[in-house]
Copies of this chain bind each other. A is one copy, B any other.
Amino acid sequence: MALADLKEEVRNDDGIATAVGILKQRFGDKLQTNASLLEQHSHTTTYIPSQLPDAVVFAESTEDVQQVVRVCAEHKVPVIAFGTGTSLEGGVNAPAGGISIDLLRMNKVLSVNAEDLDVTLQPGVTREDLNIALRDQGLFFPIDPGANASLGGMAATRASGTNAVRYGTMRDNVINLTVVMPDGSVVKTAGRARKSSAGYDLTRLMVGSEGTLGIITELTLRLHGIPENISSGICQFETVEDACNATIMAMQIGLPLARIELLDTPMTDAINQYSNMNMELKPTLMLEFHGTDKGVAEQTEMFGEIAAELGGTPIEWVNTVEERNKLWKARHDAYPAMLAYRPGAQGIATDACVPISRLAECVAETINDVEELNLVAPIVGHVGDGNFHVSPLVMMEDADEVARAETMIERLNMRTIAMEGTCTGEHGIGQGKRRFLKIEHGGGADIMAAIKRSIDPDNIMNPGKVVTLGE
């Protein structure tokens, strides 16, 4: 077993040379082949080694993307969409070479429909930029993976983050997509109505397809009103299990928490150091409540009772917008904080997500593994969704430690699957989890492969990711 299911795929060298030549003619300086740029465009946030594309095209419009895809379709050359390069599963690697389409120049917010609580934008807009653009209108877009990712990439990965417990994931917040299909045609997946029963749900098929079925060139997203009252704070517990059980109880009584994020003690320590916080070194829940003043007062009272029952501290509130922003910035920086916590180590992302009733048990068994295997592996989690990340910090030159991390991850993924959960709540399959996709979905993985073949018969769209095509 290897950490990632990486291999070089067969390269179509002649096709690639021809396609690059044609595209260079068409795109001039918008096509680049210098080594550092190629390296950057296969860069991902994790330990997964780079596999370089042969050229990068900086697309500025749907038509640019169409042109690239048409040439690549004709010459059977891979096309890989690139946003901010923050995939955790090797999503932008080019195992068979090909053309990376950089979409960051497509960064316009095209129209805010405040009346319908939606926005239409290009895929290179990042989540932070979108929220800056919306602020004056009292609206926000809640989905917030740790990185300041592009919204096209977030849709492609079915991303979520800290607010998903209240507002759902990209699955729930994408209204429609414009997609350049593998044959170069452009398809709009839906209109802007709140619901539809018109045929197969192409929007939901494209959300989470990780660029393997087409390239997203425009998105309409659901917006939400900024609540009258936003209250954030932390609540600390004696054990991780108590913190998990407080979360479970809050979810089971239907408390509409906006955020409930677990940090175990090592993660609390790492965040204290990286983000200059001074939390007590204990398992911690970072909390946020959204609503009217009265609504938030009710919610916090109810949560307080649950926490007290489980030995939690009273909620320590942050009192200004600046403090609140600092709290959540610290949470979003958990990944770099972890890396800084063990200098020289690589972080190996995991993404277990289980039914909420199994959360405490799943986390406890995982901590036992970490201890038994003598690993350093802080835990952070969107526990209201049953989703947590335990990230072994591994000295990659220590083969024994790598092997122990592999053992832990194997056990973790098998455990989540056995608990009717998933090996990935929000990161995607990419290259790293294809083996587990097959274990988790069984015959469903074959249906996915059949769909891939029907839509992309020449396998030019982000090959080597998500599905396994009898390779």
Interface residues, chain A, with chain B CB atoms under 8 Å away = 113-118, 157-160, 164, 169, 171-172, 181, 185-202, 204-205, 207-209, 213, 224-225, 248, 251-254, 292, 294-295, 298, 351, 353-357, 385-387, 416-417, 420-429, 433, 436-437, 440-445, 447-448, 450-455, 466-467
| Residues B205 and A159 in contact, CB atoms below 8 Å apart | no
| Residues A209 and B204 in contact, CB atoms below 8 Å apart | no
Instruction: Quote the shortest CB–CB distance from A417 to chain B (angstroms).
Output: 7
Instruction: Quote the shortest CB–CB distance from A337 to chain B (angstroms).
Output: 23
* CB-defined contacts of A251 to chain B, threshold 8 Å: 117
| Residues A188 and B444 in contact, CB atoms below 8 Å apart | yes
A204 to B201, CA, bound (A): 6
> What are 28 A-B pairs with beta-carbon distances under 8 A?
A115-B248, A115-B252, A115-B355, A116-B355, A117-B252, A117-B254, A159-B197, A187-B447, A188-B441, A193-B354, A193-B385, A193-B386, A195-B387, A195-B426, A196-B353, A196-B425, A197-B208, A197-B428, A199-B429, A199-B448, A199-B467, A200-B466, A200-B467, A201-B204, A202-B441, A205-B205, A292-B298, A450-B455
A453 to B353, CA, bound (A): 33
What residue in chain B is nearest A89 (Cβ atoms)? Answer: B197
Choose from B213, B354, B440 the contact partner of A198 (Cβ within 8 Å): B440
Tell me the number of copies of this protein. Answer: 2
| Residues B425 and A158 in contact, CB atoms below 8 Å apart | no
* CB-defined contacts of A295 to chain B, threshold 8 Å: 294-295, 298
* CB-defined contacts of A252 to chain B, threshold 8 Å: 114-115, 117
What residue in chain B is nearest A201 (Cβ atoms)? Answer: B204
A156 to B237, CA, bound (A): 45
A385 to B196, CA, bound (A): 10
Choose from B294, B355, B445 the contact partner of A193 (Cβ within 8 Å): B355
* CB-defined contacts of A114 to chain B, threshold 8 Å: 252
Instruction: Quote the shortest CB–CB distance from A183 to chain B (angstroms).
Output: 10
What residue in chain B is nearest A385 (Cβ atoms)? Answer: B194
| Residues B444 and A196 in contact, CB atoms below 8 Å apart | no
A428 to B386, CA, bound (A): 33
* CB-defined contacts of A429 to chain B, threshold 8 Å: 197-199
Listed residue (A113, A116, A194, A253) with the most chain B CB atoms within 10 angstroms of its CB: A194
What residue in chain B is nearest A203 (Cβ atoms)? Answer: B204
A192 to B417, CA, bound (A): 10
Instruction: Quote the shortest CB–CB distance from A156 to chain B (angstroms).
Output: 10
A247 to B248, CA, bound (A): 35
| Residues B116 and A199 in contact, CB atoms below 8 Å apart | no
| Residues A448 and B195 in contact, CB atoms below 8 Å apart | no
- Asked if A205 meets B195 with Cβ closer than 8 Å, knowing A181-B447, A189-B444, A454-B454, the reply is no
| Residues B422 and A191 in contact, CB atoms below 8 Å apart | yes
* CB-defined contacts of A194 to chain B, threshold 8 Å: 353, 355-356, 385-387
| Residues A356 and B115 in contact, CB atoms below 8 Å apart | yes
- Asked if A445 meets B186 with Cβ closer than 8 Å, knowing A115-B248, A421-B193, the reply is no
* CB-defined contacts of A420 to chain B, threshold 8 Å: 191-193
| Residues B443 and A185 in contact, CB atoms below 8 Å apart | yes
Instruction: Quote the shortest CB–CB distance from A321 to chain B (angstroms).
Output: 21
| Residues B424 and A197 in contact, CB atoms below 8 Å apart | yes
Instruction: Quote the shortest CB–CB distance from A159 to chain B (angstroms).
Output: 7
